[in-house]
Amino acid sequence: MRLIEGGSLPEDEKLKYFSQWLIIKIGEGLGDNSTDSESEVIILEEILIDNNTNGFAKLVSFVYPDLLLNINNSIYFKERTILAPTLEVVHDVNNIMMGYLTGEEKVYISSDSLYIEEGNMESELDTITTNVLNSINYSGLPTHQFKLKIGVPVMLLRNIDQSKDLYNGTKL
């Protein structure tokens, strides 16, 4: 479902129903089947996508029509978004979008060593392997292998150096 201005009356009613469902039922935690500890949400059939590459590719094409023509248009990206339930889905969608761009892909590898200082639980640090460090996947942190291509929009999520205009929200 795409939100647009000046839609027809039936479309406006569908959008109103969808927004009430999203904000009231989902946003307020009032799913259809609730217990004290968990809630089951029944998602409308019409907004479900297949959990596979083809489904995500269709979603990207729907939300970002003419992506390559607008790749340098910041307003184009401000007017669109894809919400994802997990970081895994975020990475899948980003990889699909990256696939639309031509050019060489550069892979940047994270540092996978520990800073060990005396009195810093040396015995426990021996259990943290390179594989463990490379598998860390948290929101706001890049993955172990960070892939970029020329033209890919990148936005800083942390203040790095404000004197050099590298702060939260800067588009690079």
DSSP 31-57: -SEE-SS-EE-PPPGGG---SSHHHHH
Q: Based on the structure, what is the number of domains in the chain?
A: 1
Average pLDDT over residues 65-89: 87
Query: What percentage of the chain reaches a pLDDT higher than 70?
Result: 72
Q: Is residue 115, in this structure, part of any structural domain at all?
A: no
Whose CA is closest to 140, among 104, 73, 90, 102?
90
Position 69 scores a pLDDT of 92
Specify the amino acid at residue 11: E
Average pLDDT over residues 132-151: 84
Is the confidence at residue 23, as pLDDT, over 80?
no
Average pLDDT over residues 23-43: 66
Q: Is residue 93, in this structure, part of any structural domain at all?
A: no
CA distance 87 to 74: 23
Is the confidence at residue 133, as pLDDT, over 80?
yes
Is the confidence at residue 107, as pLDDT, over 90?
yes
CA distance 122 to 120: 6
Q: Is residue 114, in this structure, part of any structural domain at all?
A: no
Report the predicted TM-score, pTM, of the whole model to 2 decimal places: 0.65
Q: Is residue 2, in this structure, part of any structural domain at all?
A: yes
CA distance 115 to 121: 11
Q: Is residue 83, in this structure, part of any structural domain at all?
A: no
R_g of the chain, CA atoms, integer Å: 21
Query: What percentage of the chain reaches a pLDDT higher than 90?
Result: 6
Q: Is residue 63, in this structure, part of any structural domain at all?
A: no
Average pLDDT over residues 137-154: 83
The parent domain of residue 40 ranges over 1-48
Q: Is residue 86, in this structure, part of any structural domain at all?
A: no
Q: Is residue 97, in this structure, part of any structural domain at all?
A: no
Position 7 scores a pLDDT of 60
The answer to whether the beta carbons of residues 123 and 43 sit under 8 Å apart is no
Sign of CA dihedral 118, 119, 121, 122: positive
